[in-house]
A and B are shown apart, each in its own frame.
Chain A
């Protein structure tokens, strides 16, 4: 039975990531490429700064599209960084050549999510697990064989002779993941990046693989970067947690602090969303609406604001939020009522370009005043909707309505006791600015 081990870190920094950005270019049309124009980029990792200390398990937690996997791969040099720095034991990785990286990879290994896809089906377990030795030209055939056998035993695939000649298809999911871990540790690395190592496995097997990883960490003095969307396993497994949302670390700190007193509304939402197996403890949840937005067109201001129950004036309200608001309203209306309201506004796509100002055209046969009335009705129907804090003014101008939102303020990392959180709710300046704008809006309307 494995209980959570004590943290044994001497505080020495193993990996230091500073202002790291990893952008992927979006492939535009043929003509655009011909003219050398870029169609834009996805900010998969957007200005991340964090440290990985020797001997610790750092959890990188987020939903799909949060950039957690890209961050892990950039750290290993598998994906080129756009800017910023990644230092491994003081050596800068981002500018290394492929040859230099290959040498370094003896010290940094990765375990992927899907054990079925990580092993070559045409290679025996001996060949797969021993492959890194071959690549790095380590040992003779007999030595390699012995090393493979030892490593298989270390990961619990014992007796090794029983597994060496087998193919991945002969193994269960858990056994495959053990073989993948064996391959990752055979070169005796310092750092292991584990990208969702248990999420494709059955509940009954997950504990065994986590146990194995905890054991290996102690035996081999490993440091882990544990990438996951599962806050429950992360709580058990990690010493520190970094919560990622749309390429940014929104909260980071010791696991205990994050779970006992989550600060960022997103962290709170993630924790609330975990299904609780004890029915006596289930609590009604208020879930954030929607999903992680497209990273190619992130929301203005704070990326989480459209889903955030606590967002306010300066969080980045904008045109696309108005469209979402109207559509959500319409989804719950009778068809006739929807048709009537929809007809009031001409073209909704004017709201699709991210902007803190929008000019809505009244629908045919309707006036701008009708549109303003619709928006006011929507506000009255749901006065607590945070979106309305962001609206600075709505003015009818001929056949159009001009909607203006408060200028977004970009959130910044704020150290708060043990954790660092990136949220305006903890930023006195942002709160004061919101206060000023509220006062300003009252003066205007009064």
Chain B
């Protein structure tokens, strides 16, 4: 990781207004992503992963408000005007979505998609340069030049996703956010796309935030991983370290519930992620945590830096002086009905 991060997120909050109250989808998140680094963002559905990804790019729906800092190139993107943000999107900040077909215009040739994108952000380019840049990027994604003039429907699902990635990369963005880019794809094509994303850091030096619910993908494609729960980062660190020895019980339970070829015993996390309008007090994971202590239900956990450069938000790691007397007693909890679990 380079010394200067491409993007620094500091205490970012994104709330949605609803008739029932504010949904605190992202609630005080801090992250850095360096040039050529792939950061995986994992967690169950409804933990705020996608909102965080969009929040970083300032792409929020109506009724959402954000606060905090997203520092990019010396500027804070939070509170920046829509117009200024739009100028940054593309050449600086890119986004890859889950469903590629909905993002490509069925009436436009692949060529026209690239021309439009490049015209908008780099109006000085000649036709020849546009073609050269586009073919080069498409070629890296394995799309042959012979298909440059074809329409989106003439491509397979995996190829469309590659075209989408190429469309984001043709502007050479410094930061790319990929929101479940392979979820709609078959396992072999998924693996192909992941190897393409992993090549990004070598070929483009792009900083990549890869949002996924699949821990296997993170292990394969990411340098670092951030585990998100109920709007907060529970744990963040080197992907190998985190997976080999999870510091947060949520990470550990997520890993245990992943079904892999080595699974001989099924495991699941009791309960479900909380309603973010009215999340549990103190540590938000305490109602589902097998290791919960009395303090976890009464006092907000403090973020701690561990020796290996990891940070974790969990009372199990202290600080001891902040835990009140008797705070480490195991928490007695009501049985969770099976139905609440799923």
The chain A residues found within 8 Å of chain B, CB to CB, are 1-4, 63-64, 156-159, 162-163, 172-175, 177-178, 202-211, 229-233, 235-236, 259, 269-280, 282, 285, 287-288, 291-292, 327-328, 330-333, 335, 338, 342, 348
Whether B259 and A233, one on each chain, are in contact in the complex, defined by CB atoms closer than 8 angstroms, is yes
Whether B339 and A162, one on each chain, are in contact in the complex, defined by CB atoms closer than 8 angstroms, is yes
8 A/B residue pairs, CB under 8 Å, sorted by A: A207-B266, A275-B190, A275-B216, A277-B260, A278-B219, A280-B240, A282-B219, A335-B145
CB distance from B148 to the nearest CB of A (A): 10
CA distance A270 to B187 in the complex (A): 7
Question: Of B139, B213, B263, B268, which contacts A211 at CB under 8 A?
Answer: B268
CA distance A209 to B267 in the complex (A): 11
0/1 per residue, B260-278, Cβ < 8 Å to A? 1111111111001000000
0/1 per residue, B198-216, Cβ < 8 Å to A? 0000000000000001111
Tell me if B153 counts as interface (CB < 8 A to partner A): no
Which chain B residues (298-342) contact chain A, with CB distance < 8 Å? 337-339, 341-342
Residue of B nearest to A64 (CB): B186
**Top 5 A-B pairs ranked by shortest CB distance?**
A174-B342, A275-B216, A327-B144, A156-B338, A63-B186
How many residues belonging to B are interface residues under a CB distance threshold of 8 Å? 61
CB distance from A389 to the nearest CB of B (A): 23
Whether A204 and B139, one on each chain, are in contact in the complex, defined by CB atoms closer than 8 angstroms, is no
Tell me if B18 counts as interface (CB < 8 A to partner A): no
Tell me if B142 counts as interface (CB < 8 A to partner A): yes
Contact A1 B191, CB 8 Å, known A158-B339, A279-B219: no
CA distance A208 to B254 in the complex (A): 13
Contact A208 B342, CB 8 Å, known A259-B261, A335-B136: yes
0/1 per residue, B119-157, Cβ < 8 Å to A? 000000000000110011011001111110000000011
Contact A156 B342, CB 8 Å, known A273-B188, A276-B220, A338-B145: yes
Tell me if B189 counts as interface (CB < 8 A to partner A): yes
Residue of B nearest to A334 (CB): B136
CA distance A63 to B184 in the complex (A): 12
Whether B257 and A204, one on each chain, are in contact in the complex, defined by CB atoms closer than 8 angstroms, is yes
Central interface residue in B146, B190, B213, B239, by most chain A CB within 10 Å: B146
Residue of A nearest to B215 (CB): A277
Whether A327 and B146, one on each chain, are in contact in the complex, defined by CB atoms closer than 8 angstroms, is yes
Whether B339 and A156, one on each chain, are in contact in the complex, defined by CB atoms closer than 8 angstroms, is yes
What residues of A have a CB within 8 angstroms of the CB of B240 in the complex? 279-280
0/1 per residue, B142-184, Cβ < 8 Å to A? 1111110000000011110000000000000000000000000
What residues of B have a CB within 8 angstroms of the CB of A3 in the complex? 264-266
Central interface residue in A4, A163, A202, A207, by most chain B CB within 10 Å: A202
Whether B258 and A203, one on each chain, are in contact in the complex, defined by CB atoms closer than 8 angstroms, is yes
Question: Of A278, A288, A291, which contacts B156 at CB under 8 A?
Answer: A291
Whether A292 and B339, one on each chain, are in contact in the complex, defined by CB atoms closer than 8 angstroms, is no
Contact A204 B239, CB 8 Å, known A277-B215, A327-B144: no
Question: Of B147, B216, B260, B272, which contacts A172 at CB under 8 A?
Answer: B272
Whether A204 and B269, one on each chain, are in contact in the complex, defined by CB atoms closer than 8 angstroms, is yes
Question: Of A2, A211, A330, which contacts B145 at CB under 8 A?
Answer: A330
The chain B residues found within 8 Å of chain A, CB to CB, are 44-45, 131-132, 135-136, 138-139, 142-147, 156-159, 186-192, 194-195, 213-220, 239-240, 243-244, 253-255, 257-269, 272, 337-339, 341-342
Whether B214 and A203, one on each chain, are in contact in the complex, defined by CB atoms closer than 8 angstroms, is yes
Question: Of B139, B187, B267, which contacts A63 at CB under 8 A?
Answer: B187
Contact A333 B139, CB 8 Å, known A207-B259, A327-B144: yes
What residues of B have a CB within 8 angstroms of the CB of A292 in the complex? 186
Residue of A nearest to B265 (CB): A3
Whether A232 and B263, one on each chain, are in contact in the complex, defined by CB atoms closer than 8 angstroms, is yes
Whether B189 and A175, one on each chain, are in contact in the complex, defined by CB atoms closer than 8 angstroms, is no
Contact A331 B138, CB 8 Å, known A211-B266, A232-B263: yes
What residues of A have a CB within 8 angstroms of the CB of B156 in the complex? 291
Whether A1 and B267, one on each chain, are in contact in the complex, defined by CB atoms closer than 8 angstroms, is yes
Whether A236 and B187, one on each chain, are in contact in the complex, defined by CB atoms closer than 8 angstroms, is no
CA distance A233 to B215 in the complex (A): 15
Contact A202 B146, CB 8 Å, known A156-B342, A271-B261, A287-B188: no
Central interface residue in B262, B268, B272, by most chain A CB within 10 Å: B268
CA distance A1 to B268 in the complex (A): 9
What residues of B have a CB within 8 angstroms of the CB of A4 in the complex? 264
CB distance from A148 to the nearest CB of B (A): 15
CB distance from B252 to the nearest CB of A (A): 12
Whether A342 and B146, one on each chain, are in contact in the complex, defined by CB atoms closer than 8 angstroms, is yes
CA distance A1 to B263 in the complex (A): 12
CA distance A270 to B188 in the complex (A): 7
CA distance A259 to B262 in the complex (A): 11
Q: Given contact pairs A156-B341, A270-B188, A273-B188, enumerate 14 new A-B contacts (beta carbons under 8 Å).
A: A2-B265, A173-B45, A175-B342, A205-B272, A207-B267, A273-B187, A275-B190, A276-B261, A277-B260, A279-B239, A328-B144, A335-B131, A338-B145, A342-B146
CA distance A292 to B255 in the complex (A): 31
CA distance A2 to B268 in the complex (A): 10
Whether B144 and A330, one on each chain, are in contact in the complex, defined by CB atoms closer than 8 angstroms, is yes
Whether A331 and B145, one on each chain, are in contact in the complex, defined by CB atoms closer than 8 angstroms, is yes
What residues of B have a CB within 8 angstroms of the CB of A282 in the complex? 219-220
What residues of B have a CB within 8 angstroms of the CB of A208 in the complex? 268, 341-342
What residues of A have a CB within 8 angstroms of the CB of B139 in the complex? 330-333
CB distance from B304 to the nearest CB of A (A): 23
CA distance A173 to B45 in the complex (A): 10
CA distance A367 to B216 in the complex (A): 52
CA distance A278 to B261 in the complex (A): 11
Whether B158 and A2, one on each chain, are in contact in the complex, defined by CB atoms closer than 8 angstroms, is no
What residues of B have a CB within 8 angstroms of the CB of A159 in the complex? 337
Question: Of A2, A279, A288, which contacts B244 at CB under 8 A?
Answer: A279
CA distance A206 to B268 in the complex (A): 8
What residues of A have a CB within 8 angstroms of the CB of B219 in the complex? 275-279, 282
CA distance A229 to B190 in the complex (A): 12
What residues of B have a CB within 8 angstroms of the CB of A202 in the complex? 44-45, 213
What residues of B have a CB within 8 angstroms of the CB of A209 in the complex? 342
Whether A207 and B257, one on each chain, are in contact in the complex, defined by CB atoms closer than 8 angstroms, is yes
Residue of B nearest to A199 (CB): B183
CA distance A172 to B275 in the complex (A): 11
